[in-house]
Amino acid sequence: MQQVNVLQEYFPKDFYGLVDTNHLKSIYMLPDPQSALDHILRLSSVNHGEDFQTFMRRFGTKTFATQDDFRWMLQAESEKNSPLVAAYINGTLVTPSDQTGFGNTEFELEFSEPWFSAPAQIVGEYNEVYPIYVKQGPTSFGSNYIYTCELITGNHNLFIPFDQLQAGKKFSQDFNIVETSFSTRGGTVSYSSPFSMKGVFSMLRMEDTRGGDMINRPVAWSWQVMENGRPVTKTLWDEYADWELEQQFQSRVNKFLIYAKANKTAAGTYLQKGDSGRYIVEGAGLHQQMSPSHFYSYNTFSIPWLTDRILSLSVGNIPIDRRKMMVTSGSWGIKQFHEALEDYSTIWSPLHSDLRVTMDKNNNMTYRGTFNKYIGPLGIELTVQLDPTKDNTERNKIMHPSGNGVAESYTYDILNLGSTTDTSNIQICYKKNEEIIYKIMKGLRSPDQLSGTAKNPEVASMTLDAYKIMRATTVGIIVYNPLLTARIVPDILNIS
Amino acid sequence: MSEVIKKIRCPLQNKKVVVRVIISDDAFFESINKDHIALGGYPSAKKTFCAPINSITNNIINPLTADEQEWFESSECNLGFKPGDLSSLKKKDNFWSSTTNEIVLTKEGKTYDLSSPEQYLKYVILRANKEYIAPSWEQRYDRGTYMFALCDGDEDVKSKIKKTDLLKDAWREYGKIDESVNKLYDFLCVYYIKSKKKDITKPKRNMSLDELRIEVSDIIDKDISNFLSIIKSNDYHTVVLIAKSILLGEIIPIEKGLRYHIKSVDYKGTMPEIVSYLKDIKLQSEKLRLENVIDEQEKKL
């Protein structure tokens, strides 16, 4: 690592695993009467905001009794259009010279599914220009279904052009019209079967072994943590190690929840085995579960463009009164959003307001105000929330070509969190009683050792003069309806 | 001095390019169901692509080559572009900005006619998206970031794969009946009744095994989907009974063959309704009667 400046006395060293006194001596972390350091400062910190788990817990978590796979069902729309397979007149395929339906004559339409039922009025791409009355059907025809139809019109000269009866042309049901009295049948209800989604639990585990000589070992520096709302100064190595373990564990759980890629094969099996010979099960994280949904790339960011994207995600999917969406982004993405909104707002009304400029009694002037919420047309309401993981320079290695931040910082995740009726659309789930697994394995010496005596010895779990901290959780994430989410990414082509 | 007139080469081609979605082998939805709706993306999910940004210069990359740009900005192209209009470095009204020009794809994919200048300009945006769009179907697994592949429209990969699968399935089913005169004849009876094609001849009971084999293999060649839908039907044996009864006049097609009439019990219904009727455990006497009539008739031949 490069020297920050000439005042830097030591170079940082990275190490992992077992740490003993010699390690600390080698990196100048043992007390030194001449040391001028009181508190340690981190050169780069990713701990600069609310983390993913904390953020998501605001919307509730889900707990399952067992570690088995969990399923949820999604329902497709019960109204849809169906593509035409073929059209016939008296059982013969229509040809370009045919005037299908001319003079209210019968013709047959073939579809791959029995979506309509006679009596019904269906329409093709030109809708009511060629209203079709379904007289009979569905009748099974090979693997498809045939409907006997005629044009429902008083115009005897009307016929359906050949180009409107090509395979793939879409037809939809309008209504079920019957005779005004003595009718004997009506149209039936169309159902769309729900489809199943499945998630799995994964177990994440970390551990740290510390030598007996490290218990209550003071170090040359101190740091402050908040305990019961008050800053408390810590100076012991094991306290620091506990804090570091928990920070890194939470960070890795966050990464799992966002970035994990399921390792299940198409056959439903797993391939990777651990030391025990049993399978390693990795469930799908947030991004993989969002991946079959919307993906928008951009090279120019603007509010009208974003509005179009949000509308295309919302129309037909989200009721107009529920289009309040959370957009998470990195710091640079939020800045970009702010600037785009500022540009957009000045189009409509130059900001003559003096609210953004303040002056104190010493004539110091301040310009203030960040745009982080946008209320657009048709009920769209966007609130931008900082996602610190997007600014993480350790994981996100590709820099944005502007030179400001990493490319990931410019991505936007649209998380429609609250659109389902009784629960958040995205939830972290835990196995019951396994959200926090924290265990200690005691050796000859351990941090909470009792004064064992010959008559009443304390039990140790290993002969080693050390103790081991084990941290684990059984966790997964559910995106109930991925279609209510989207990823917006800058379209950067890596030129090497 | 004579002026040298440079001939601008037209980039348009008389071919089509199909953009196809790539279904990853590790697709976790497939492990739930191989026909899962989310496989390859939800049907209504949109993926948009624009001209990418150069990771070094931070400028939009021009998806056109210099020659292509020159042609599109010439009078020969006739899209109204003037020299410089298609530059990707323009600060205002940049044609390649995602706010004005982007491609929207769904899992259904899309076909681009490269003889159309407008469609060619769309195609080049996809061609430039080397992170997300594979240059060919064969290269679709070369990068983990690929979402779609550009395929030669003349080689309809999807239909080729589908046809191969169907053929494999069909010949497997054929193998189950090709040693039996009765089984081949049964199939031809059903095919004759179910097919609406006018050039199908009625099967004869005295056809030899080879003749029957040729007839059925011809159907696999020409009408594979109907062959499979018939032979793999759960009600196949009941449908055979119905087809043979129709040929003997015990069941009569009515209303242009959309419904059928069992004469002896005066029952009318569509094919699924007739099947249900004959499978009804309480009405087995009619099924047995029809089987007897068919047996008697076949013994006479």
A492-493 vs B53-54, strand pairing mode = parallel
pLDDT above 50: residue B111: yes
Looking at mean pLDDT, say which of A411-420, B58-67, B277-286 comes out highest.
B58-67
Whether A296 and chain B come into contact, CB under 8 Å, resolves to yes
pLDDT above 90: residue A271: no
Q: Identify the CA nearest to A390 among candidates A312, A333, A439, A442.
A: A333
User: Is there a domain that residue A77 lies in?
Assistant: no
A485-490 vs B16-21, strand pairing mode = unpaired
User: Could B56 and A284 be called an inter-chain contact, meaning their C-beta atoms sit closer than 8 Å?
Assistant: no
User: Could A294 and B47 be called an inter-chain contact, meaning their C-beta atoms sit closer than 8 Å?
Assistant: yes
Q: Identify the CA nearest to A423 among candidates A77, A70, A61, A65.
A: A61
User: Could B272 and A140 be called an inter-chain contact, meaning their C-beta atoms sit closer than 8 Å?
Assistant: yes
pLDDT tens digit sequence for A70-86: 877 766 666 677 889 88
User: Could B53 and A148 be called an inter-chain contact, meaning their C-beta atoms sit closer than 8 Å?
Assistant: no
pLDDT (0 to 100) of residue A122: 92
- The nearest CA of chain B is from the CA of A134 a distance in Å of 14
Give the model's confidence band at A360: pLDDT under 50 very low, under 70 low, under 90 confident, else very high.
Answer: confident
Lowest mean pLDDT among A62-66, A131-135, A166-170, A196-200: A196-200
Structural domain boundaries, residue A109: 82-175
pLDDT above 50: residue A46: no
Beta bridge partner(s), residue A134: A120, A149
User: Is there a domain that residue A139 lies in?
Assistant: yes
User: Could A76 and B37 be called an inter-chain contact, meaning their C-beta atoms sit closer than 8 Å?
Assistant: yes
pLDDT (0 to 100) of residue A44: 41
Residue B280, CA distances (Å) to A139, A142, B10, B267 in order = 20, 22, 69, 13
Provide the token pair at A371: 């745009």
User: Is there a domain that residue A163 lies in?
Assistant: yes
Mean model confidence pLDDT for chain B: 85
User: Could A297 and B49 be called an inter-chain contact, meaning their C-beta atoms sit closer than 8 Å?
Assistant: yes
Which residues, including other chains, have CB under 8 Å from residue A184's CB and lie 6 or more apart?
none
pLDDT (0 to 100) of residue B224: 84
Q: Cα-flanking dihedrals φ and ψ of residue B68, to 5°? A: -65, -45
Residue to test with chain B: of A289, A297, A313, most B Cβ within 10 A: A297
Residue A62, Cβ density class (10 Å: 0-12 exposed, 13-18 middle, ≥19 buried):
middle
pLDDT tens digit sequence for A284-314: 899 988 888 899 999 999 888 888 888 877 7
Helix-, strand-, coil-residue percentages of chain B, each rounded to 5: 40, 10, 50
Whether A456 and chain B come into contact, CB under 8 Å, resolves to no
The predicted model gives B45-73 an average pLDDT of 93
Pairwise CA distance, residues B51 & A490, whole Å? 10
Pairwise CA distance, residues A384 & A407, whole Å? 18
- The nearest CA of chain B is from the CA of A437 a distance in Å of 28
> Is there a contact between A173 and A116 (Cβ–Cβ < 8 Å)?
yes
User: Could B44 and A483 be called an inter-chain contact, meaning their C-beta atoms sit closer than 8 Å?
Assistant: yes
pLDDT above 90: residue B286: no
pLDDT (0 to 100) of residue A445: 87
Provide the token pair at B146: 């690929």
pLDDT above 90: residue A62: no
Domain count, chain A: 1
> Is there a contact between B22 and B148 (Cβ–Cβ < 8 Å)?
yes
Residue to test with chain B: of A107, A300, A412, most B Cβ within 10 A: A300
Q: Which residue has the tokens 């429902």?
A: A152
pLDDT (0 to 100) of residue A34: 41
Give the model's confidence band at A32: pLDDT under 50 very low, under 70 low, under 90 confident, else very high.
Answer: very low
Q: Find the closest chain A residue to B35 by CA distance.
A: A195
**What sign does the dihedral B215-B220-B224-B229 (CA atoms) show?**
positive
Tell me the percentage of chain B whose pLDDT exceeds 90.
33
**Which residues of chain B neighbour A185 with C-beta distances below 8 Å?**
none
pLDDT above 70: residue B248: yes
Tell me the percentage of chain B whose pLDDT exceeds 70.
89
Closest CB to B53 among A143, A302, A493: A493
Residue B111, CA distances (Å) to A265, A294, B19, B137, B282 in order = 31, 20, 6, 14, 55
Pairwise CA distance, residues B168 & B224, whole Å? 11
pLDDT (0 to 100) of residue A187: 77
Tell me the percentage of chain A whose pLDDT exceeds 90.
22
Closest CB to B271 among A140, A316, A398: A140
The predicted model gives B12-34 an average pLDDT of 76
Closest CB to A495 among B54, B97, B256: B54
pLDDT tens digit sequence for A177-210: 888 888 887 877 766 555 667 788 899 999 999 9
Report helix, strand or coil for A99: coil
ipTM of the complex: 0.71
**Which residues of chain A neighbour B57 with C-beta distances below 8 Å?**
401
User: Is there a domain that residue A293 lies in?
Assistant: no
User: Is there a domain that residue A150 lies in?
Assistant: yes
Buried b (16+ CB within 10 A) or exposed e, B249-278: ebbeeeeebbbbebeeeebeebbeebbebb
The predicted model gives B26-53 an average pLDDT of 76
The predicted model gives A401-409 an average pLDDT of 92
pLDDT above 60: residue A338: yes
Pairwise CA distance, residues A255 & A389, whole Å? 8
Q: Is the pTM of this model over 0.90?
A: no
> Is there a contact between B128 and B122 (Cβ–Cβ < 8 Å)?
no
From the CB of residue A114, how many other CB atoms can be counted at a distance below 10 Å? 18
Q: Find the closest chain A residue to B25 by CA distance.
A: A266
Give the model's confidence band at A472: pLDDT under 50 very low, under 70 low, under 90 confident, else very high.
Answer: very high
pLDDT tens digit sequence for A98-150: 999 998 899 999 988 788 888 889 999 999 999 999 998 888 776 678 899 99
User: Is there a domain that residue A15 lies in?
Assistant: no
pLDDT (0 to 100) of residue B70: 93
pLDDT above 70: residue A378: no
User: Is there a domain that residue A166 lies in?
Assistant: yes
Beta bridge partner(s), residue A89: A92
Report helix, strand or coil for B48: strand
> Is there a contact between A381 and A311 (Cβ–Cβ < 8 Å)?
no
Beta bridge partner(s), residue A365: A359
B259-262 vs A170-175, strand pairing mode = unpaired
Closest CB to B31 among A91, A92, A266: A266
Residue A217, Cβ density class (10 Å: 0-12 exposed, 13-18 middle, ≥19 buried):
buried
Beta bridge partner(s), residue A430: A63, A475
User: Is there a domain that residue A161 lies in?
Assistant: yes
From the CB of residue A469, how many other CB atoms can be counted at a distance below 10 Å? 19
Lowest mean pLDDT among A457-461, B147-151, B207-211, B253-257: B253-257
Q: How far is CA A215 from the centre of its chain?
A: 41
> Is there a contact between A162 and A94 (Cβ–Cβ < 8 Å)?
yes
